[in-house]
A and B are shown apart, each in its own frame.
Chain A
Amino acid sequence: MPATKILPGIRIEGKILGNADVKVEGEVSGEIKLTSSIYIAKNGKVKADIEAVNVYVAGDFTGNISAREFIQVSAGGKAHGEIKAPAISIEKGAKFSGKIEMVEEDAAATVISAPAESAEPEIEASVEEEQELEVPAAATETDAE
């Protein structure tokens, strides 16, 4: 399937718009607005606000994402920011810190796990490493005093 590809060694600062899929292996900063999908590959670095249909993060991402259908942070991917979609998947081995908002769109498939087999224990490990969850922060502050 044809897609715009931004390879390593290329850096874009500004806006990317359009209806063709985009794959980023280089660096992008700014704003991305697509009526298609974007794939941030393993070595890709994106610092941007993204609006798209599907967003796949296998590289480094910082910013906000609003996806019409699906967001996936796959193993090895790092995402930081606020992400919003009807369906979101954070795979085992992925790093995420920030906020997730799952927009209601009937009982949308919401997966927080790797492939189907392993059900529970992996989530803790990756979440604990990047503690940015609201509850503990407030609690420890009062304890300290």
Chain B
Amino acid sequence: MEDKKEAAQNTVIIAGTRIEGKISGNTDIRVEGEISGTVELDSTIVIAGTGSSACSIKAKNVVIEGAHTGDITTQESILISPDGRVKANLKTPVISIEKGAKFSGSIEMSF
């Protein structure tokens, strides 16, 4: 309960925690555990390497290093990093799928 020195003050859902339902808000989130349901943020969500998500996500930025299933709409960008595995329909102005990443689904970019 009393770790004040941590610099990166983000909401973190660590491995061993599972959330089912709706997550909303305006601060960043890092998911190392499991989430399912819907996510609506005016900020950034990172699905970390150990994390898995079965959610429809609306956020400013989405970074996927782990596993994700579900549609994603972002205001700014989506990044799927080399270990990311994603099954989804994506809607975003900027996307990057790095070499090694697995993706199946559709991408819709506004330009």
Contact = CB atoms under 8 A, between A and B. Distances in A.
A13 B22 contact: yes
A10 B13 CA distance: 12
Interface in B8-56: 9-27, 29, 33, 37, 43
A112 interface: no
A13 B23 CA distance: 6
What is the interface residue range for chain A against chain B? 20 to 34
A26 B11 contact: yes
A122 B38 CA distance: 45
Contacts of A11: 22-25
Contact of B20 (A3, A9, A17, A20): A17
Grouping DSSP codes into helix (H, G, I), strand (E, B) and loop, the B interface class, with mixed when no group exceeds half, is: strand
Nearest to B40: A11
A4 B14 contact: yes
A36 B1 CA distance: 13
Contact of B25 (A4, A10, A19, A20): A10
B16 A14 contact: no
A16 B22 contact: no
B22 A14 contact: yes
A17 B26 CA distance: 23
10 contacts: A1-B3, A4-B13, A4-B16, A9-B26, A10-B24, A12-B23, A12-B24, A14-B21, A15-B18, A15-B20
Given A7-B10, A23-B1, A41-B1, 12 more contacts: A2-B14, A4-B12, A4-B14, A6-B13, A10-B24, A11-B25, A12-B21, A12-B23, A14-B20, A15-B18, A18-B16, A39-B1
